[in-house]
């Protein structure tokens, strides 16, 4: 500063100093006010929750009511620790994403994880969930459905306890088939094609067969089902076998069903709601769907057709010598590898997967149990139609490929299968593309 302004500079500095102080006071005050407001509104903090004996479990909104009641009962029985729940997104993909992000960011505070069947390999490979082989013994496992146990196994260790399962069923319009002269449901895809075409012609039903073919996890499941019902598969361990003749035939069946007009081209955009919507308003002869949709049949607000008009059966196969198969999902329980009290966590899991609780889940929520003995229980059979058929269908339920890189695989598979439905590539091309993409994933994953 030059000498002339020094005099003024001092006064100016004074003025500047005052204004700076003023400013700090004003802005500081505002920030403090805002912080207090924000902090007080933050509400229940959820850090930890894992004092010894306390267990935090994530809870999918689907099962909110039933499980909350069960947890309450458990808490009453076990006063020394408390089980709390946290509601997570209803979309399992989102719930998985959140959980995985938390783990990647350093860890999650959730002790008991309620999750989809495709989660265990992805979590186990990174050490996020605990190996349950000691607690969940071989003897215990025998009470559960074999296929689901396999899905919870990674590198020969078991990481999850099965809870409820889902399987793929073929829904069909018994009345329409009878009118067209068919007394039995189709055993092969060719038979389905023939029956659907006849009914579409005779009765004018717009759609022959609807399924979830959109570009998402459901689309992956359907693609896998077409491949497996043709006797093929996508992965055999670490080897990609999606280009075998059987797999290609499965893809060809899927494509031809759409190309021949049996399935509408719109299945490429269908998720569960759209597909079941079409069937429930009476516009489709066949549908591939999870068992939950059966519940809607009695309800006028949800469905235009009734229980008497519909029947469930297994999915058809490409040829009669191929064993029946479907691809399922379902929920299981895992324990966070960093859980503060794994014993308490496992105690909760044992309780929730016990026969009585599974029965309650089945009767009140129409969920399919994972304990094989429950499939003979008359009350459950009455309440859950899927269970009646479950005895045949459920043991034939397989799970999607077991891989720590399943997210990436599902992305490329759903895209490939979607292109297959739309006919943008031939089945051979689809298989070739998938093969190179899956091999690339496996090799990069290491």
300 binds another protein (CB under 8 A): yes
211 binds another protein (CB under 8 A): no
404 binds another protein (CB under 8 A): yes
Given a contact cutoff of 8 angstroms between Cβ atoms, the answer to whether 287 and 211 are in contact is yes
60 binds another protein (CB under 8 A): yes
112 sits in the region (left: phi over 0; alpha: psi -120 to 50; else beta) called beta
Site for another protein in 267-286 (CB under 8 A): 268-269, 271-274, 276-278, 280-281, 283
Alpha helix positions (H), 125-186: 138-141, 146-151, 174-179
Site for another protein in 62-91 (CB under 8 A): 62, 86-91
Q: Which residues contact 314 (CB under 8 A, 6 or more apart)?
A: 169, 170, 324, 326, 389, 392, 393, 396
Between the CA of residue 406 and those of 255, 314, 390, 411, what are the distances in Å? 24, 26, 27, 8
Query: Among 264, 369, 385, 400, which residue interacts with another protein (rule: CB under 8 A)?
Result: 264
Scanning 29-37, 348-356, 380-388, 394-402 for contacts with another protein by CB under 8 A, the matching segment is 29-37
Q: Between 88 and 117, how does the x/- string for binding to another protein read (CB under 8 A)? A: xxxxx----xx--xx-xxx-----------
Alpha helix positions (H), 281-366: 342-352, 355-365
Given a contact cutoff of 8 angstroms between Cβ atoms, the answer to whether 247 and 431 are in contact is yes
Scanning 127-135, 149-157, 172-180, 208-216 for contacts with another protein by CB under 8 A, the matching segment is 208-216
State the CB neighbour count (10 A cutoff) for residue 350. Answer: 15
Smallest separation (angstroms) from another protein to the CB of 111: 15
137 binds another protein (CB under 8 A): no
Q: Which is nearer to another protein, 137 or 304 (CB)?
A: 304
Q: How would you classify the pairing of strands 112-116 and 83-87? A: unpaired
Query: Among 143, 203, 411, 425, which residue interacts with another protein (rule: CB under 8 A)?
Result: 411
* 289 closest CA partner among 233, 234, 231, 221: 221
Query: Among 303, 332, 399, 430, which residue interacts with another protein (rule: CB under 8 A)?
Result: 303
201 binds another protein (CB under 8 A): no
């Amino acid at each position: 500063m030059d000498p002339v302004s020094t005099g003024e500079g001092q006064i100016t500095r004074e003025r500047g100093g005052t204004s700076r102080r003023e400013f700090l006071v004003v802005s500081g005050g505002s920030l403090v006010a805002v912080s207090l407001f924000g902090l007080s509104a933050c509400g229940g903090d959820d850090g930890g929750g894992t004092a010894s004996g306390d267990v935090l479990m994530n809870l999918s909104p689907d099962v909110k009511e039933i499980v909350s009641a069960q947890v309450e009962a458990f808490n009453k029985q076990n006063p020394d620790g408390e089980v709390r729940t946290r509601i997570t997104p209803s979309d399992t993909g989102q719930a998985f994403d959140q959980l995985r992000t938390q783990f990647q960011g350093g860890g999650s505070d959730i002790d008991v994880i309620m999750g989809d069947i495709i989660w265990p390999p992805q979590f186990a490979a990174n050490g996020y969930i605990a190996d349950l082989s000691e607690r969940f013994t071989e003897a215990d496992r025998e009470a559960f459905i074999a296929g689901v146990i396999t899905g919870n196994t990674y590198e020969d260790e078991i990481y999850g306890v099965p809870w409820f399962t889902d399987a793929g069923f073929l829904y069909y319009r018994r009345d329409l088939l009878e009118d067209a002269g068919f007394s039995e449901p189709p055993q092969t895809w060719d038979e389905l094609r023939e029956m659907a075409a006849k009914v579409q012609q005779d009765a004018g039903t717009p759609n022959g067969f609807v399924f979830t073919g959109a570009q998402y996890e459901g689309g992956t499941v359907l693609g896998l089902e077409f491949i497996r019902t043709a006797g093929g598969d996508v992965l055999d361990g670490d080897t990609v076998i999606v280009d075998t003749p059987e797999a290609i035939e499965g893809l060809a069946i899927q494509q031809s069903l759409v190309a021949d007009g049996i399935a509408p081209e719109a299945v490429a955009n269908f998720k569960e709601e759209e597909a079941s919507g079409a069937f429930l308003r009476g516009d489709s002869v066949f549908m591939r769907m999870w068992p939950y949709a059966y519940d809607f049949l009695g309800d006028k607000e949800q469905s235009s057709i009734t229980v008497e008009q519909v029947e469930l059966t297994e999915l058809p196969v490409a040829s009669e010598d191929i064993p029946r198969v479907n691809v399922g999902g379902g929920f299981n329980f895992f324990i966070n590898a960093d859980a503060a009290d794994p014993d308490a966590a496992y105690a909760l899991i044992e309780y929730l997967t016990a026969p009585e609780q599974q029965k309650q889940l089945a009767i009140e929520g129409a969920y399919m149990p994972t304990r094989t003995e429950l499939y003979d229980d008359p009350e459950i059979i009455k309440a859950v139609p899927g269970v009646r058929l479950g005895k045949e269908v459920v043991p034939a339920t397989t799970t999607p490929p077991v891989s720590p890189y399943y997210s990436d695989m599902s992305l490329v598979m759903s895209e490939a299968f979607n292109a297959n439905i739309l006919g943008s590539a031939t089945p051979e091309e689809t298989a070739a593309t998938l093969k190179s993409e899956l091999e690339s994933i496996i090799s990069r994953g290491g």
